[in-house]
Structure 1
Amino acid sequence: MTTRPGRKRNDRRRLGAVSAVRGGRHPVADRHVRQSSRRLRKGLNVAAPTLFFCVGATKAGTSWLHEALSDHPECRFRSIKELHYFDALEHGRIAAQVSQITARRDDLAARIDGAPVLKAAELAVRVQDRNDWLSVLAKGEDIDAYQAYVMAGAGEARVVGDVTPAYALLPEQRLQQMAGLSGDVRFLYLLRDPIARLWSHVRMMAARRGPDGKVDPQRAQNILNRTLRGDEHEIEIRGDYAAALTRLRAVIPSDRLLCVYYEDLFDGDGMAQICDFLSISRISGDGARRVHAGAVLDMPAPLREKAGAWLVPQYEFVARTLGRLPLAWQANMQGV
């Protein structure tokens, strides 16, 4: 099996971190914050890498993309895929983020002792990233600290980033703040066929709400019916492409916003579009590997018909706004 250049770099980072964590040392972001602040004061931030935000949509390939770009030799992504920084600021949830990240860090740290060397090294990097991130969260709203965190260790990387689908739900003012950060800031919004995205989201929630983490077909159908009645607000807004695109296009310059279809990531030129947009070498990505793929469960035909009718406004808005639709979208539109 061929090893990607990005994996070699990441392996070196992991091996360098494991001894630090096993020795009880936890590097924090303060050092990177100070270094970044000095660079900003000296006016050297023009050489900083592109800050890339992938803002959704939920269940539209964002985890797969995070892994693909993390392995790219010209990119530098921290191991925490979804930082949830700007939505935590917007909704006053910093304390909740601290609690969640702390619990996850402690779980990862507990697994280091006794793990094989390479696995321990991977866990050590993830623990270090969470300690660094907790130091940023402790500062509250500190944009310099946030940028220093995502750019720490970038070296010669051309792109750093934050892949948080919840950012697509932010109001225009907060999105405008993100777009106005120093340096080159770019946004990506991934769109998946509305029916397929909805059913994937429903299956994920059915698994989360089940006692054993498995998808019960009846529970999934009940959640879908509640969604179609307007009783599952979170699922509904995550798939509201019309609202998200309207907000994004209102405040982000057109040359800084790219919309790509999920279907094109695997069966088209989606990755080429993204790489060109970020000015990095093209990669194809591992299309055979899915990340966080939901359990296989067909949507019952009557519910599929109801979901299709409910989602007609989304199909029509995207067709008007972006023009070309992938074949899967066209087939589902015709079946409505």
Structure 2
Amino acid sequence: MTQAPTMLFCAGAVKAGTTWLYEYLREHPETYFRTIKEMQYFGRLDSGTLKGRIKKLDQEIAAFEAELESGKAKWPTWVLRQIGDRAEYRKLLLSGDAPTAAYLRYLTAGAGDKRLVGEMTPEYGLLPPARIAEISALAPDVRWIFLMRDPVSRLWSHVRMLVRRAKPAPDAFAAACEAKFDAVLAGKAPDVTQRGDYRAIHGRLAQAVVADKRLAMFYEHLLTPAGVARMTDFLGLSRHPAKLDKRVHEGVAIDMPAALRIRARDWLKPQYIYVAQTFGLPPEWESFPELNSEVA
């Protein structure tokens, strides 16, 4: 009897390398991942917002079909696979019959004898510990990865991503970023705050998942040979070449003004303190002489 594959979930953080990790693992010969990186299943199921997820799937399917019809698709087979995965997932969400069992079948269908399956929805890190524990019991071997990036850099990247989605005029982009930044620090964008709250996210994972089934890593270390080796060892995978210089969804390049950086450092200092006390601060992060600067 074929052994069930290890199942991986990634709890974020947003703008901390989750897409790079997904693409690396999707291309690994010992894994099977659908073309949907973030299925957003459990959060939507719990909040009753599956209709919103279905609407987004419809939009994505329409966009891929338009790409095929235009004749501009560089890799038609890959586009067809993305359409198929989304159509199948849409059908699953509409079925309403034992949805979690159907979700597991969807995740593993086509995996064959691959060692690892999974998905990477950062918002799962926001779920209550009890729900995370339930997810961890879905298969005999469920593992979690949590990625952390320098908090100031992560915040600025998150801000730029949100502004880019709003599509301001090019000459208004910088001002829009500063306005969004101000809104975050004023408490008007709680979602951004929650998704960068390493202390809370890691605390929930630590409460719900046994230590040998979860791995917390720094984004800055993941993109190194030693970091990739640590990650693949944790997942029980063989070493596989990594595109360490590849950046995914990097966003519009705009330097963070010095005044904003100072404010961000002060606002995010509790996160630096938590990481320093729990893991030790990596040298690539913002420097706080009063905090431990040695990686544990």
- TM-score per shorter chain, which class? over 0.9
Deviations 1:263-290 (A, max 9, x none): 0022462211110011001134101111
1:103 aligns with 2:59: yes
Letter aligned with residue 200 of structure 1: S
Answer whether contact 2:67 2:73 (CA < 8 A) is retained.
no
Residue in structure 1 matching 2:262, options 305, 309, 315: 305
The CA distance in 1 between the partners of 2:149 and 2:170, in whole Å, is 24
Give the number of aligned pairs.
Answer: 290
Answer whether contact 1:74 1:158 (CA < 8 A) is retained.
yes
Equivalent residue number for residue 179 of structure 2? 222
Equivalent residue number for residue 81 of structure 1? 37
RMSD of aligned alpha carbons: 1.9
Answer whether contact 2:151 2:271 (CA < 8 A) is retained.
yes
> What residue ranges of structure 1 are gaps of 5+ in the alignment?
1-43
Match runs of 1:131-150 below 5 Å:
131-140=87-96, 142-150=99-107
TM-aligned CA deviation for residue 297 of structure 1: 1.0
Answer whether contact 1:308 1:333 (CA < 8 A) is retained.
no
Equivalent residue number for residue 167 of structure 1? 124
1:247 aligns with 2:213: no
User: What SS does the corresponding residue of 1:51 show, helix, strand or coil?
Assistant: strand
User: What SS does the corresponding residue of 2:95 show, helix, strand or coil?
Assistant: coil
Match runs of 1:1-336 below 5 Å:
47-113=3-69, 115=71, 119-140=75-96, 142-211=99-168, 216-267=173-224, 269-322=226-279, 324-329=280-285, 331-334=286-289
Letter aligned with residue 125 of structure 1: R
Letter aligned with residue 304 of structure 1: R
TM-aligned CA deviation for residue 213 of structure 1: 7.8
Letter aligned with residue 61 of structure 1: G
Change (3 A) 1:213 1:233: farther
Equivalent residue number for residue 35 of structure 1? none
The CA distance in 2 between the partners of 1:84 and 1:214, in whole Å, is 34
Answer whether contact 1:272 1:282 (CA < 8 A) is retained.
yes
Answer whether contact 2:38 2:120 (CA < 8 A) is retained.
yes
Runs of 4+ off more than 4 Å: 212-215
Letter aligned with residue 283 of structure 2: L
Letter aligned with residue 87 of structure 1: G
Answer whether contact 1:207 1:213 (CA < 8 A) is retained.
no
Deviations 1:121-169 (A, max 9, x none): 1110001101110121113462111111111111121000111111111
The CA distance in 2 between the partners of 1:219 and 1:147, in whole Å, is 41
The CA distance in 2 between the partners of 1:208 and 1:107, in whole Å, is 16
Answer whether contact 2:156 2:256 (CA < 8 A) is retained.
yes
The CA distance in 2 between the partners of 1:273 and 1:211, in whole Å, is 41
Answer whether contact 1:90 1:174 (CA < 8 A) is retained.
no
Give me the identity figure in percent: 38
Normalising by the residue count of structure 1, what TM-score does the alignment of the two structures yield?
0.82
TM-aligned CA deviation for residue 333 of structure 1: 2.6
Change (3 A) 1:266 1:214: farther
Which one has a bigger Cα radius of gyration?
1
The CA distance in 2 between the partners of 1:334 and 1:195, in whole Å, is 16
The CA distance in 2 between the partners of 1:266 and 1:144, in whole Å, is 35
Normalising by the residue count of structure 2, what TM-score does the alignment of the two structures yield?
0.93
The CA distance in 1 between the partners of 2:70 and 2:166, in whole Å, is 32
Change (3 A) 1:311 1:117: closer
TM-aligned CA deviation for residue 200 of structure 1: 0.4
